[in-house]
């Protein structure tokens, strides 16, 4: 409870400093969980070693709890054939013979087989025109406003993240930072519109090594597959018996709630939702109502001079996709003793959630956009892993009228491949 109170106090302070137009969740490249799938996992070294490991495990099972998942795959020795039958389970990934835990090490080298002298191969510049990054804070974004990555700068380990399309999905253990040893910033509406594309491009640079198939940034779906979280059935691990409620049931920001906003002759838009909530916005929108349309474009609806309470004029319809939760409880409530999802002692928890408190500078980005419908505003953000949970550390912009004092939110974590 003390940790939870500390987190709430810290977040309440952040509320005061968050900007409508820019929130620098600095993404440590770890946040870029670069999801790299291994396409070339062969029999000789992979399955062969696994079989030997299985025999040793069977013989020594009574003497020590040693799991096959501890066997390190030496990809360079693989010779015979590609294995594309990996599946993800509650415990990890398996091909039917070998089982690896989430968080187990994989001997992947992202520099293997590439020309490290070719800058176009090892480096990537994320331009300010795509991220909203203004290095001089002078209000003008130029070609000099970029954040650069060099994949030769990462020498950490790679770990199992899951399985996707029959292939093993792995990720970096440590933060991936920019060449300047800084976190990665996305800002305002520009960062919101282009952030996922940029995170994926950065991550793909780490997927050029031998045996890799492709690379992308980690997403909240990757996390949910591990924890078993389902926003339509919180507090119950996916696949288990139980009758959990949707996130924020009965509230305007209930998960999946469709909210329609209207001008009604006043500066406070009227709203109604499929969940039954209806009313008037708590904020005045003298300067218009900003929102993102179905094509991802930012629109602005000016206050109507012809709408009336009896003849409302539709502004837009939005679906709430926001949720947050702790991996132990699979709810918004923290309980260190719970293990509905994953326990704090698990290798998965240690890899994904440990050291993610705000002051540890280890929160990281998820390439998953989020829309939160509130009575006073709509928040557009990306999901992040922060303060030991799946959260929403960045609000790139709001629909409400006021600008707020710019604030920062350190988000640092390893690139996950």
The secondary structure of residue 246, as a DSSP letter, is P
The secondary structure of residue 45, as a DSSP letter, is I
Torsion of the alpha carbons at 261, 264, 267 and 272, rounded to the nearest 10: -30
3-state SS class at 350: helix
Listed in sequence order, the DSSP H helices in 275-357 are 347-352
The secondary structure of residue 300, as a DSSP letter, is E
What residue spans define the domains of the chain? 2-38+110-244+322-411, 258-319
Order of strands, sheet of 270-273, starting from the edge strand that comes earlier in the sequence: 278-280, 270-273, 258-263, 313-319
Could you read off the pLDDT of 107-166 as tens digits, one per residue? 888 999 999 999 999 999 999 999 988 888 788 899 999 999 999 998 888 888 998 888
- Predicted confidence at residue 398, as pLDDT, reads 58
Can you tell me which residue has the tokens 């690896």? 100
At 360, give phi and psi (nearest 5°). -80, -10
Q: What is the pLDDT along the chain (417 residues), one digit of tens a residue?
A: 445 454 444 444 333 322 222 223 332 223 344 455 554 443 333 333 333 444 444 454 444 433 333 333 333 333 222 345 889 988 899 888 888 899 988 888 899 999 999 999 999 999 999 998 888 878 889 999 999 999 999 888 888 899 888 888 888 887 788 888 778 888 888 888 999 999 999 989 998 988 788 888 889 999 999 999 999 999 998 777 667 899 999 999 999 999 999 999 999 999 999 999 999 998 888 888 888 888 888 888 999 999 999 999 999 999 999 999 999 999 999 887 877 899 999 999 998 998 777 665 577 888 999 999 988 888 888 888 888 999 876 566 655 433 222 223 333 333 333
């Amino acid at each position: 409870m003390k940790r939870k109170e500390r987190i709430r106090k810290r977040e309440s302070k952040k509320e005061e400093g968050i900007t409508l137009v820019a929130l620098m969740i600095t993404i440590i490249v770890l946040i870029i969980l670069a999801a790299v799938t291994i396409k070339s996992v062969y029999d000789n070294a992979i399955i062969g070693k696994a079989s030997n490991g299985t025999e040793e495990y069977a013989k020594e099972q009574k003497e020590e709890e040693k799991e096959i998942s501890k066997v390190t795959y030496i990809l360079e020795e693989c010779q015979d054939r590609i294995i594309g039958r990996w599946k993800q389970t509650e415990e990890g990934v398996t091909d039917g013979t070998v089982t690896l835990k989430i968080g187990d090490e994989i001997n992947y080298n992202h520099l293997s087989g590439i020309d490290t002298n070719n800058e176009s191969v090892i480096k990537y510049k994320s331009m300010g025109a795509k991220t909203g990054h203004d290095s001089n804070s002078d209000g003008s974004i130029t070609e000099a406003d970029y954040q650069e990555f060099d994949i030769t700068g990462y020498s950490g380990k790679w770990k199992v993240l899951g399985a996707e399309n029959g292939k093993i999905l792995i990720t970096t253990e440590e933060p991936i930072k920019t060449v300047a040893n800084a976190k990665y910033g996305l800002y305002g509406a520009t960062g919101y519109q282009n952030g996922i594309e940029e995170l994926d491009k950065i991550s793909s640079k780490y997927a050029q090594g031998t045996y890799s198939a492709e690379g992308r940034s980690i997403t909240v779906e990757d996390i949910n597959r591990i924890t078993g979280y389902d926003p339509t059935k919180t507090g119950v691990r996916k696949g288990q018996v139980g009758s959990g409620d949707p996130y924020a049931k009965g509230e305007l920001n209930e998960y999946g709630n469709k909210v329609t906003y209207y001008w009604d002759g006043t500066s406070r838009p009227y709203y109604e939702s499929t969940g039954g909530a209806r009313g008037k916005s708590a904020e005045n929108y003298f300067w218009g109502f900003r929102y993102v349309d179905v094509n991802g474009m930012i629109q602005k609806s000016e206050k109507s001079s012809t709408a009336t309470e009896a003849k409302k004029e539709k502004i837009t319809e939005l679906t709430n996709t926001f949720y947050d939760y702790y991996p132990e409880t699979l709810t918004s409530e923290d309980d260190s003793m719970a293990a509905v999802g994953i326990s704090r002692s698990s290798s998965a928890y240690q890899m994904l959630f440990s050291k993610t408190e705000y002051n540890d500078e280890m929160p990281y980005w998820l390439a998953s956009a989020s829309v939160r419908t509130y009575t006073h505003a709509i928040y557009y953000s990306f999901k992040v892993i922060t303060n030991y949970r799946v959260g929403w550390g960045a609000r790139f912009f709001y629909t409400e009228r006021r600008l707020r004092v710019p604030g920062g939110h350190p988000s640092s974590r390893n690139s996950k491949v």
